[in-house]
Structure 1
Amino acid sequence: MNKPVLTIVVPCFNEEEVFTDTSFQLSTLMTNLITNALISNESKILFVDDGSKDNTWNLIETESDNNPYVKGLKLAGNVGHQFALLAGLETAAKHSDCVISIDADLQDDINVIPEFIEKFWEGADIVYGVRDKRETDTFFKRNTALGFYKFMGKIGIKLVPNHADFRLMSKRALEELLKYKESNLFLRGLVPRIGYKSTEVYYDRKERLAGESKYPLKKMLAFAFDGITSFSVAPIRLVTFVGFLSMIISAIAGAYAVIQRFLGHTESGWASLIISIWFVGGLQLLGIGIIGEYIGKIYHEVKRRPRYAIEKDLYSVQEKTQQHNEAVVK
């Protein structure tokens, strides 16, 4: 088996504070992997700039000129982490035998990447990086995350617990992933659906190198809800069930009120009436909101708009230039 060409895809959004250190660590890793004959010397690191407002892209361009491992992909605007990652994966798939995705803050441990490659050599098409424990998380984040994975499993959505987007995918696994054309992208749910041979590598998550997390509580909740509604109609069924249960309870309460009326035990029920009105009204608004969320997703899907636009692709341009120069020499 020939040594595989590896591309490490790194989505970036306002990462100027960590970029230099991230590039150095990943470049050192690439040198070690090539020296140990695990990957081809044509392997690269692809930084994807997701419409950063700081100096991230200029740093990527400069590093690309000076570092033979580094390539850059600049998106025309900010499209979000999942689409930026997909853009990098799609570009890398054209040049690579396998691709590893990792966030720019390097909280995911790059020291397990050699083990990723070994699993690939053994025949795994997908290698998931899975957190061994969540001791660095707050009590709230740790328990809400575990609750999320359990809930997703209950409603039939296949996820790998404690896995984010740190994974290796073979070329053929990537080709299958790219057949999914939906606009409501949730890669952590899509990748397990591919079905090719997969395995897991466990690691301890580190502290962020610098800067702030790009996933505060608000974004994490939105991301979780997007994952649920992208793969399951369980929320609508839940509202339907609660509505049906509410109707039964209302019928029982109505029968009880009629019986009490005939027995002459009626009393003014202002509080219970107001509570029931607010309960039913809230339930209706919740149901409308959830249905609206699904309709909104359908609206985005049927328009079939491009998921991202590439402004600059240093990977493909530099490769074509290199091929041209080699042809001229011959």
Structure 2
Amino acid sequence: MYLSVVVPCMNEEGSIPSLVARLADAIGPYKDRAEIILVDDGSTDATWAAIKAAQQICPQVRGVRMSINRGHQIALTAGLEAALGARIFMLDADLQDPPELLADMMTMMDRGYDVVYGRRAERQGETLFKRATAHMFYRVLNAMSDVDIPRDTGDFRLVSRTALDAVLAMPEKARFIRGMFAWVGFRQIGIEYSRAAREVGETKYPFRKMLRFAIDAMTAFSTKPLKLATRLSFVSLGVAALMMIYVFRSLILYQTAPGWASVVLAISAFSGVQLLTLGILGEYIGRLYVEAKNRPLYFVSEDTRAAESAPPVLLKKRA
């Protein structure tokens, strides 16, 4: 197998036909040595039926159905582990990232690159809030991270088998795929493109999931939040010392006029710093708790490559 295309799908029944049609055209030069892996991430609509119908039309399609919804990054991991190709192309089912860019990415990989990622030069159909938060996310992430993660990129990329095997060797449960590819290194280059508006369905990343995703990304690639908590503690101690000096001065000069506002303000400020510090520590402790349980990332309930539905398959343990 020369080329594998991996697409996580969650309630994308309306997108599957056009997705497969455009992918079939994109992989045309390699169709005899290519596969299209569509991972159904516990969809509640007819996505799985649409995947099986697409397989009847396009023999390169392979469906992988997860036992329950595990989230975009885990579904993508399941598809990457199932991929057999020497080169692996990743994109989302909403077609905001153009499959037609595969030809340019293949050309760049022919020149010796191991990772060719798409960089969003323009975001069509997105709200000002979404564009602003995405812009801020990548800047803050790079400021907090110990790894230089390319800005304005997603999981839309073409990777070599060498780079993919390196990423799959990483055992963490909280996956941030684009950051993991940045961490493993190898030769990487970006290609700018205009990200289209979603034509069918709705986004699977509301603000709550975006916030959770951002926290996972920052805690997965940096200990700087812990250092920030320490610095905030020292700042709090410094402010407390200044307030103590002010109190003693007031006592000495008999300027002890009552003032509830300053007391409430001080208590609120210190309480906020303490809660923030506890929250940051809690994120890291929670991550350690999840990793210590060493549970499998996912189960597969059905794989259309098999002659018949197989029982759930346990994810192999990685050292």
- The amino acid across from 2:79 in the alignment is G
User: Which structure carries more helix by proportion?
Assistant: 1
For residue 53 of structure 2, what is the amino acid of its counterpart?
Answer: T
Equivalent position of 2:15 in the other structure: 18
User: Considering only aligned residues, what root-mean-square deviation do their CA atoms show, in Å?
Assistant: 1.6
Distance 1:29 1:144, change over 3 A: same
Among residues 24, 29, 45, which one is paired with 2:26 in the alignment? 29
Residues in 1 aligned to 2:252 and 2:47: alpha-carbon distance in whole angstroms: 77
TM-score (norm 1): 0.89
Number of the residue aligned with 2:208: 218
Report the equivalent of 1:254. 244
Tell me if 1:49 matches 2:46. no
Q: Which moved more, 1:100-109 or 1:225-234?
A: 225-234
TM-score (normalised: structure 2):
0.92
The CA distance in 1 between the partners of 2:94 and 2:127, in whole Å, is 19
* Residue pair 1:5, 1:40 contacting (<8 A) in 2 also: no
**Aligned with 1:133: secondary structure?**
strand
SS in 2 for 1:204: strand
Residue in structure 2 matched with residue 146 of structure 1 by the alignment: 135
2:80 corresponds to 1:83: no
Moved over 6 A (4+): none
Larger radius of gyration: 1
Partners of 1:179 and 1:151 in 2: CA distance: 27
Q: In structure 1, what residue type is equivalent to 2:42?
A: G
Per the TM alignment, residue 234 of structure 1 is displaced from its structure 2 partner at its CA by 1.4
Q: Specify the alignment match of 2:267 in structure 1.
A: 277
Q: 1:67 aligns with which of 37, 58, 75?
A: 58
Are 1:194 and 2:184 an aligned pair? yes
CA deviation vs aligned residue, 1:79-102 (integer Å, no higher than 9, x gap)? 11001001101110xx21101010
Structure 2 distance, partners of 1:266, 1:234, is: 41
Conservation of the 8 A alpha-carbon contact between 2:12 and 2:93:
yes
Aligned residue-pair number: 307
Deviation at 1:56, TM superposition (A): 0.6
User: 2:162, 2:229 → 1: CA distance?
Assistant: 40
Deviation for aligned residue 1:40:
5.5
1:296 aligns to 2:296 (yes or no): no
Equivalent AA in structure 2 for residue 128 of structure 1: Y
Letter in 2 for 1:45: I
- 2:124–2:194 contact (8 Å) kept in structure 1: no
* TM alignment of 1:234-253, pairs within 5 A: 234-253=224-243
In 2, distance between residues paired with 1:81 and 1:308?
12
1:96 paired to 2:109: no
2:315 is matched with none
Structure 2 counterpart of 1:271, which letter?
Answer: A
Contact in 2 for aligned 1:130/1:161 (Cα 8 Å)? yes
Does the 8 A contact of 1:182 with 1:301 survive in 2?
yes
Are 1:46 and 1:70, in contact at CA under 8 Å, matched by a contact in 2?
yes
1:306 aligns with 2:296: yes
Kindly indicate whether the alpha-carbon contact (under 8 Å) linking 2:120 and 2:194 is maintained by their aligned counterparts in 1.
yes
Instruction: Supply the distance in 1 between the matched residues of 2:116 and 2:3 (Cα, whole angstroms).
Output: 14
Shift of 1:154: 1.8
Corresponding position of 1:322? none
2:5 match: secondary structure: strand
Equivalent residue letter for 1:290: I
Structure 2 counterpart SS, 1:315: coil
Shift of 1:26: 1.2
Q: Which runs of 5+ in 2 are unaligned?
A: 309-319
Question: How far apart are residue 316 of structure 1 and its match?
Answer: 5.8
Q: How far is the alpha carbon of 1:76 from its aligned partner?
A: 1.0
Whether the 8 Å CA contact 1:46–1:315 is kept in 2: the answer is: no
8 Å contact from structure 2 (residues 37, 64) kept in 1 = yes
Number of the residue aligned with 1:5: 2
Q: Tell me, in whole angstroms, the C-alpha distance in 2 between the residues paired with 1:199 and 1:302.
A: 35
* In structure 2, distance between residues paired with 1:165 and 1:116: 14
Q: In the TM superposition, what is the alpha-carbon distance from 1:136 to its structure 2 partner?
A: 4.2
Which ranges in structure 1 are unaligned for 5 or more consecutive residues?
A: 319-330
Amino acid at match of 1:314: T
Residues 126, 197 of structure 2: 8 Å contact kept? no
C-alpha distance in 2 between matches for 1:235 and 1:171:
33
Identity of aligned residues (%): 38
Q: Distance in 1 between matches of 2:124 and 2:55?
A: 36
